[in-house]
Amino acid sequence: MSAQAKTVRMTYREAMRQAMRDALRRDPRVFLMGEDVGRYGGCFAVSKGLLEEFGPARIRDTPLSESAFVGAGIGAAMGGMRPIVEIMTVNFSLLALDQIVNNAAAILFMSGGQFNVPLVIRMTTGAGRQLAAQHSHSLEGWYAHIPGIKVLAPATLEDARGMLWTALEDPDPVLIFEHGSLYNMEGELAADAGAVDIDKAVLRRSGSDVSLITYGGTLGKTLAAAEELAGAGISAEVVDLRTLRPLDTATILDSVTRTHRAVIVDEGWRSGSIAAEISARIMEGAFYELDAPVARVCTAEAPMPYAKHLEDAALPQAPAIVECVRAMVGNRG
């Protein structure tokens, strides 16, 4: 073995598949269920090949009824299994909202602590792929409103590979939101990559002039904006939230206390967004540290257009982040 750690080049999609394969091998209680996850290999090819490896008892194609198969997942979890339920895209999770909010999130409390629901629900989220208004939602902020569940948004290969096992070990329901634009993202991943923490935000770039706070599909755009800002003499710190519930408020406030400015980049709509919650927490916890009001770069408040140029205009983009920061800090180049 070389002293230098071995890495493997793979996509985000392959990292997710590796995470599921590892979980299925490690724990016989783990199984995957959802629409087209078996023979078809998943709508986004994340589960491709798993049916052949693990068989139909553990890779289960379900009827097209989100309420039914999420409910079955809840029952299986309460019965001692460790189900991974895949919902094709986040908009379809609305058909299972009663199961997720009234059952999965509440059973532990409603039972007086007698019954846990160790369930993991994966779903694709986000826009940018010309899927129009019904398949381009970013509703993870909605679910972050609900006590009784954890909400994860892996934005890197390491998190795509490592969050699933940690989530499966959690005694309570965990929702994992995978941004559709990330599946083809390629990079290097340690050959021995394993489970990661799901409770803490991380700094993806250090800086001193402004904190850029983001997650999921907008992390890459935010890092690109930070790089451009560096050319203008503005040092931007990038905080990847990773987990939207519970929010790592301490890391957010620590960053803002050092930079004294904050811009939140969120693909959700501005009104009632997770960006609004983060802004409120900064105001509550670091108001006297701020040298400027907290700013937000969010998606336009309209159903997502199909036309590519309109979709791009509706979404947060690196130029809009740069413009927002320059207006706050000033161009120092």
Positions annotated as catalytic residues are 66, 135
Q: What is the rounded CA–CA span in Å between residue 57 and residue 296? A: 46
Q: What is the rounded CA–CA span in Å between residue 266 and residue 192? A: 32
Q: Length of the chain in residues, anyone? A: 333
Q: What is the rounded CA–CA span in Å between residue 221 and residue 182? A: 12
Give the list of residues 6+ apart from residue 256 with CB closer than 8 angstroms, or none.
211, 262, 282, 286, 289, 290
Burial of 209 (0-12, 13-18, 19+ CB in 10 A): buried
Strand runs labelled E in 180-260:
186-190, 202-205, 210-214, 236-240, 243-245
Amino acid identity, residue 123?
A: M
**Contact at 8 Å (CB) between 45 and 180?**
no
Q: What is the rounded CA–CA span in Å between residue 159 and residue 190? A: 12
